[in-house]
Amino acid sequence: MFIIGITGGIGCGKTTVANLCRTAGLSVIDADEISRQSTAPAGLAIEPIVAAFGRSVLDAKGGLDRAKMARQVFADRKALDQLSQIIHREVIAEMQRQIEKLKEKKIKAAVLDVPIPVKQGFLDSVNQVWVVWAQEEVRIRRLLDRGMAEDDARRRIAMQMTRDEYEALADHLIDNSGDYATLVKTVENLFKDELASRGIRYQSLMPEAPGG
């Protein structure tokens, strides 16, 4: 099975590219979704999070209060690393289970959608890494549109990997500083180069016009 790993910093458009992969008919394993499940009430990551940070980071239902936790860890690199380690352990285990299920079904291509490109469970599981990137001011504008305060947006970006660090891992760097139509064309060209060349079928993102 040919596995593409998609990653990139907050506000770069990683999720948008993963959604284009879904539109093309590829199986996508979403680390963020697995993370949300693991930090929901009774999720597998809740007990170790409470052991590390206390019950004050939980909401009324017993799940992780993501806003409260974010305020704490994005001001403290050590706390962020500790939280990441706890959640990554559960996310990676579930991702591997899903990969094995896809292999059993003889699926030819799959996508891992992962915000932080850890070595174990991501880099060592994929055939290629596609990094989605965008200019910082573009990222900040997108985060503001999501309702995030500018100071918070800049702080989160500063805590994440740099472009150079992501690019060092990339087989392909997807610049998503422009409009959506440009992004679609870029991803379609990657599908042609990396999927079609391997005999892997996918649904084109830009079907020909009637008579074209």
Q: Assign domain 2-198 one CATH number from 3.30.420.40, 3.30.750.24, 3.90.550.10, 3.40.50.300.
A: 3.40.50.300
139: Cα separation from own chain's centroid:
15
Quote the CA–CA distance of 158 and 140 in Å, as a whole number: 11
- Alpha-carbon torsion 190, 194, 197, 202, what sign? negative
Read off the pTM: 0.85
Written as tens digits, the pLDDT of the chain (212 aa) is 999 999 999 999 999 999 999 999 999 999 999 999 999 999 999 999 999 999 999 999 999 999 899 888 888 889 988 998 899 889 999 999 999 999 999 999 999 999 889 898 899 999 999 999 999 999 999 999 999 999 999 999 998 999 999 999 999 999 999 999 999 999 999 999 999 999 999 999 986 543 33
pLDDT of residue 211: 36
Quote the CA–CA distance of 96 and 106 in Å, as a whole number: 15
Residue 191: which of 130, 119, 113 has the closest Cα?
130
CB within 8 Å of 22: residues ≥ 6 apart: 28
Domain residue spans of the chain: 2-198
pLDDT of residue 28: 98
Tokens of 155: 């702080």
Tokens of 3: 């596995």
